[in-house]
Every structure is written in C-alpha cells, then in structure tokens.
Amino acid sequence: MAEVNTGDGGGGHGKHDKKRAKKASTRIDMTPMVDLAFLLLTFFVLTSTFNKAKTMEINFPAKDKDNKPMKINNALTFLLTREGTGEKEDGLYYYYGEFYAPKNKDGKPVTEFIKTDFSKDGLRKILLDRNKPTIDALNDLEEKYKKKEIADTTYKRLALKEKGAKDALTVLIKADDKAVYKNVIDMVDELNICNVGKYAIVDMGQAELDILNAIKKK
C-alpha cells in the first residue's frame, strides 16, 4: 500500500512568518506486488508442459544360449546396405520366410533377395500387402470404438493382441557395416505406420552377407 507523509512542519507560527508549503513524502509498500509475482510464477510452473524426450521403441531379441535358429511364422526379412556414396545409393533387399544358404542340408533352393526402395510404392506397399489381415482387424476394432461398442481400454488391449498374434507379420531388420543409421530409423517408422507390431533388429548371417555382396558386385 502507498502512504503519504505530510510531516508536522510548515511554518507560519508567528504573526509575520511566511507560510511554507508542506512537503509530502511517498512510501510504496511492494509486499503485495511481490506476493502476486510469486503466485503467478508458481501458477505458470505448475501448469506448464515441459518438453518430453522423443524416443523410439526398438525391439532386440533375447540371446539364445544354445545358439539354435528359431523358426518364425510369417517372417519378412529386410537387409540394409549401401551401394555407393550418393544420397540415392541406399540398398534395400528383402525375402520372405526362412533363409536357405547355398548347399544347405535340406536341399532347398537358395533364398532369392528381392530389391526394393523406401518409397511408398516400395517398402510401404510390401508391408501393407503382407500385413493386410492385421490391418483389416485393426480397422474393424476402430469402427467398433468409434461407434462406442467397445471401451477405450478394451480397444487398446484388443489392438495389441492383434498386432502380437502368432500368425501376425514378423519383420526382421538386418544391416551390414555399410548401412546408415538413418535407414534403420526410416525402417522402424514405416513399420509403425503400417501397424506391424512384431519386429526386431538382428545380426546378419555370414551366408546372407556373402549373397548380398555378390549381388552388389554385379
């Protein structure tokens, strides 16, 4: 609060004394303003949303003590590499199912690597086609959720169940020592866009690497 102090003096006590104007001094109490400033500061701190770190979930398979290859149903494997130094020299190959090396003990034909790219007509189209049953099931759940036939928690639980189903698409990402980190991130982004719930980054086998290097030399 502000106070005005007019003082006691001013002259004019005698008959012939001249009257002098009274001097006023002002004193402002800053306590309420400081209290208000702290209240506003506390309010903004408590109601503000702080920046959250942007993270990406990447799945790594558990190490097998016996080092035995595990058979995966409905598996799609992508091989990342570089075929040059230019921006458009990213190498992306894939194959479906199990890998069979040359002269394998089962007598199976050697697995063929198919080349593609990161465009919407390449990688994304492959994922959408292979993951169509899961995508259709998720769309049905979303329709039920919009119609309020199922609750939010039920929708999320069933969606996770569909993505993790036994026969759902499983994607394995393998990169050689020439692949760039950006391509791995782009790969994971496409998997999330196409609702692929089961994917992992694994090491590339020597037989796969040999075939990949032979293709790049052609």
pLDDT by residue (tens digit) across 107-138?
889 999 999 999 889 999 999 999 999 999 99
> Nearest to residue 204, comparing CAs of 107, 30, 79?
79
Q: Rounded CA gap, 93 and 78, in Å?
A: 6
Higher-pLDDT residue of 48 and 167 is 167
- In a domain, residue 188? The reply is yes
Token pair recorded at residue 96:
């479906």
- In a domain, residue 193? The reply is yes
Question: Residue 200's domain spans which residues?
Answer: 75-131+169-217
- In a domain, residue 82? The reply is yes
With H, G, I as helix, E, B as strand and everything else as coil, classify residue 169: coil
- In a domain, residue 61? The reply is no
Q: Rounded CA gap, 27 and 156, in Å?
A: 64
Which domain CATH number covers 181?
Answer: 3.40.350
Confidence band (pLDDT; 50, 70, 90) for 15?
A: low
Task: Give how many domains the chain has, as a whole number.
Answer: 1
Task: Give CA 158 to chain center in angstroms.
Answer: 22
- In a domain, residue 97? The reply is yes
With H, G, I as helix, E, B as strand and everything else as coil, classify residue 123: helix
Answer yes or no: is pLDDT of 66 > 90.
no
Pairing of strands 75-82, 25-28: unpaired
Q: Rounded CA gap, 87 and 100, in Å?
A: 32
- In a domain, residue 206? The reply is yes
- In a domain, residue 119? The reply is yes
Answer yes or no: is pLDDT of 23 > 80.
no
pLDDT tens sequence across 138-176: 999 999 999 999 999 999 999 999 998 888 999 999 999
Confidence band (pLDDT; 50, 70, 90) for 33?
A: confident
